[in-house]
Amino acid sequence: MQLDLFLDSHEVVLANQVVEALLARDAMRATTAFAALAHDGPDHPALPALKVLSCALAGWDPPEAQPAAIAQRMTRLEQDVVPAAATALGASAQQFLNPFFVELAEAARGLQYDACHPCAYRACICVQCGDYSGAEQAVLATPDWVQNPDALHWLSVARYRRDGLDAARGTVFQLAWRGPARLATLLTELDDRLLLREWNAFEAACAWSSVGEHERASWFPAWHLVEHPGAASEFRDMSLPDTPAATAVRLLLRLLDLERQADIRALSTQRARLRELNQDLFTLYMARRTVQHR
């Protein structure tokens, strides 16, 4: 038993030496320490992950400022190095990873957005290394960024991580309209309790039988406005696309104004338009009015 304890302690010391060298970004020392661990502790559970990290550090060269080359590095990091860092380094994983991403972000500075290599764009890389202000600057410098689902995704993450849900909600809604198939992935990434609760309530609100599955998420902002009419001011300054789901938001904003004005005739006309546009949303809207006037 004492011998086992000795061997275990020796392996722990060797593994710690590898970790220390990796975090110090000393590739030669990390390679030497890993070789010692592989020799004396071939069954150490972190050995495969530490090998990936040691090789990544030793084989890292300054990246070319080309989207394809940067994308290749990003793919290697995300598929191999990031999981290995989480396994072997735990809470210190980001400390090891950040310099890689920072170097790639610098290489991507000034490059145009390339739809064939979105992960090579500076905004995406800045999000990975926690430079949320840099990510926002890169997105806002992208031509027609408000129509670009990639840019909206990155900007939503950056604003949420830096300033919270209130700062990100507008771009979350823009993504719902312009890239509805990606909304669920974004919400999972943000992992905000309130936002996920609202998303679940939206999905459970009705069958949403009047819209296709692929576009259902685009109606999330309109549902939010029905449930939270006090959020109308947030929508008034938004750029709304010419889609049925965004048209519903325009109608709801008009309806809220007419309700305050008590213009019964115009109110009836606009409600009829909402019913024609989406029966499910109209039913939810009218149900909320019934509750309010009981």
Nearest to 100 by CA among 135, 131, 132, 60: 60
For residue 109, tell me if it sits in a domain: no
Length of the chain: 294
Residue 8 has pLDDT above 70, yes or no: no
Q: Pick the more confident residue, 294 or 12.
A: 12
- pTM equals 0.89
Contacts of 33 (CB under 8 A, 6+ apart): 14, 17, 18, 20, 21
Computed over every residue of the chain, the mean pLDDT equals: 93
Domain end: 31, 59, 87, which one?
A: 59
Domain end: 42, 59, 76, which one?
A: 59
Q: In total, how many domains does the chain have? A: 2
Residue with tokens 């992960």: 119
Residue numbers of the domain that contains 270:
180-294
Q: Pick the more confident residue, 2 or 270.
A: 270
For residue 196, tell me if it sits in a domain: yes
pLDDT in tens, 187-220: 999 999 999 999 999 999 988 888 888 899 999 9
For residue 250, tell me if it sits in a domain: yes
Residue 64 has pLDDT above 50, yes or no: yes
The identity of residue 204, as a single letter, is A
Domain end: 27, 44, 59, which one?
A: 59
For residue 97, tell me if it sits in a domain: no
For residue 83, tell me if it sits in a domain: no
End-to-end CA distance of the chain: give it in Å, rounded: 76
pLDDT at 62: 82
Give me the helices (H) in 164-263, please: 165-178, 183-190, 193-205, 220-227, 232-236, 244-261
Contacts of 40 (CB under 8 A, 6+ apart): 10, 11, 14
Rounded to the nearest 10 degrees, the angle between the axes of helix 220-227 and helix 244-261 is 20
pLDDT in tens, 212-243: 888 999 999 999 999 999 999 999 889 999 99
For residue 146, tell me if it sits in a domain: no
For residue 230, tell me if it sits in a domain: yes
- Interatomic CA distance for residues 31 and 33, integer angstroms: 6
For residue 267, tell me if it sits in a domain: yes
Question: What is the average per-residue pLDDT within 105-117?
Answer: 95
Three-point CA angle 154, 159, 163, nearest 5°: 160
